[in-house]
């Protein structure tokens, strides 16, 4: 039974599909995931390294500020439609799973036109235009944030399913915290460990604030794991081992579980997958939303988690060494607030989201 996964452009739209596909195969090995992505998206690097067959099409977003470039979108859509026709003639899929982004739009339009059942996974509080446009044709939509329900038009309320984001769940049992800290060269007990990262590409604004903060002096007993992103690592690598070894600087965290296992709280962006992973590990974050994210969706994500008592928000426009220091000291200095944030993060955790989504999809597949 073939299942087509359509989505990409960014990791937040691709990795959920991979997690769901692997969960499907674990439960039902005869399911054959097939990925449809864009030549210009992150899937160009990622999909060839996976176990799944795939096709990369000449797909483009809508160029809203520069409308004269939309000839590329139209040309690519016509070519991709013919490619999808060939894929479906080879084996008609039982369902199409859309995971967002412009790479998903054409495949979902094709599913509507060819009467192929369709579901979606929606990652952000305010779903993207593709998710909203095709919501009324979706059999089910799996929500990372339950707050997203108000933005989606569906035929019946049961179509909206609060599953959380499909991520790689923490191992069971959880790694020993003391051992994990020692692997980073930190003492097994005492103080707190702060994880700082700006997603896979890093965040220069966060990195610059971190450099100044470390130079001014971080709180006693605080240990820091700081991932700068590969593009800017050389600018900050000299701080590895700073403050008597209490700062560890890396370009990228792989596997990131090694850092999560040692971490008490975090400073990160507010992307859907990042926040879902933090919630699953019960790590309360100080969120610095990316202000240039599409439709400012990271700010909306961050505010929803703050309203749920699972995070604090520090706007990038207000981010300095001084505000970062004050916010971190607030968390460190109030044990009651820290515990409340941990409880809030734990309440938003959905570590089994991929398996739950797979179960829903399997019930919709033809027997």
Least confident of 195-209, 326-340, 347-361: 195-209
Dig out the tokens for 147 from the structure: 């707050």
What CA–CA distance (Å, rounded) separates 213 from 328?
A: 11
Cβ proximity of 59 and 106 under 8 Å:
yes
Q: Is 97 left (phi over 0), alpha (psi -120 to 50) or beta?
A: beta
CATH T-level topology, domain 2-167+352-364: Rossmann fold (3.40.50)
Dig out the tokens for 114 from the structure: 């060819």
Question: In this prediction, what percent of the chain has a pLDDT beyond 70?
Answer: 95
With a cut of 70, say whether residue 74 has pLDDT above it.
no
3-state helix, strand, coil in the chain (%, to 5): 50, 15, 35
Dig out the tokens for 135 from the structure: 């919501």
Are the folds of 2-167+352-364 and 177-347 the same?
yes
pTM of the model: 0.89
Residue with the larger pLDDT of the pair 361 and 72: 361
Residue with the larger pLDDT of the pair 39 and 267: 267
Cβ proximity of 331 and 321 under 8 Å:
no
Computed on alpha carbons and rounded to an integer, the radius of gyration of the chain in Å comes to: 21
CA dihedral for 308, 342, 212, 217, sign (positive or negative)? positive
Please report which confidence band the pLDDT of residue 228 belongs to, taking 50, 70 and 90 as the band edges. Answer: very high
Q: Where in the chain are the domains?
A: 2-167+352-364, 177-347
Mean pLDDT of the chain: 93
Cβ proximity of 267 and 286 under 8 Å:
yes
Residues 292-343 have pLDDT tens digits of 888 899 999 999 999 999 999 999 999 999 999 999 999 999 999 999 999 9
| Residue 15 pLDDT | 92
DSSP assignments along 312-340, one per residue: EE--GGG--HHHHHHHHHHHHH-HHHHHH
What is the three-class DSSP state of 160?
A: strand
| Residue 200 pLDDT | 65
CATH T-level topology, domain 177-347: Rossmann fold (3.40.50)
With a cut of 70, say whether residue 78 has pLDDT above it.
yes
Least confident of 41-45, 70-74, 202-206, 272-276: 70-74
């Amino acid at each position: 039974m073939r299942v087509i996964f359509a989505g990409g452009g960014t990791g937040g739209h691709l990795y959920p599909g991979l997690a769901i596909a692997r969960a499907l195969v674990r439960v039902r090995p005869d399911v054959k995931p097939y990925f449809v992505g864009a030549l210009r998206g992150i899937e160009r690097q990622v999909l060839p390294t996976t176990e799944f067959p795939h096709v990369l099409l000449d797909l483009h977003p809508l160029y809203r500020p520069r409308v004269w470039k939309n000839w590329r979108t139209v040309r690519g859509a016509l070519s991709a439609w013919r490619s999808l026709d060939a894929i479906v003639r080879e084996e008609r899929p039982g369902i199409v799973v859309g995971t967002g982004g412009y790479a998903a739009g054409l495949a979902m339009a094709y599913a509507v036109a060819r009467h192929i059942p369709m579901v979606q996974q929606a990652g952000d509080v305010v779903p993207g235009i593709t998710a909203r446009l095709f919501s009324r044709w979706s059999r089910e939509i799996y929500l990372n944030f339950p707050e997203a329900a108000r933005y989606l038009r569906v035929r019946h309320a049961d179509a909206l399913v609060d599953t959380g984001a499909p991520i790689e769940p923490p191992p069971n049992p959880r790694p020993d915290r003391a051992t994990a800290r020692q692997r980073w060269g930190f003492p097994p007990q005492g103080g707190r460990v702060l994880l700082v990262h700006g997603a896979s590409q890093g965040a220069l604004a966060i990195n610059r604030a971190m450099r100044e903060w470390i130079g001014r002096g971080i709180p006693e007993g605080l240990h820091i794991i700081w991932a700068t992103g590969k593009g800017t690592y050389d600018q900050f690598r000299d701080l590895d081992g700073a403050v008597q070894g209490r700062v560890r600087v890396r370009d990228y965290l792989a596997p990131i579980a090694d850092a999560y296992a040692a971490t008490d709280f975090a400073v990160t962006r507010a992307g859907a997958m990042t926040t879902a992973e933090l919630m699953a590990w019960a790590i309360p974050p100080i969120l610095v939303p990316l202000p240039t994210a599409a439709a400012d969706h990271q700010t909306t994500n961050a505010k929803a988690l703050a309203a749920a008592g699972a995070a604090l928000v520090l706007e990038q426009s207000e981010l300095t060494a001084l505000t970062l220091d004050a916010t971190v000291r607030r968390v460190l200095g109030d044990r009651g607030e820290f515990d409340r944030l941990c409880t809030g993060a734990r309440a938003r955790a959905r570590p089994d989201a991929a398996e739950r989504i797979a179960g829903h999809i399997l019930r919709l597949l033809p027997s």
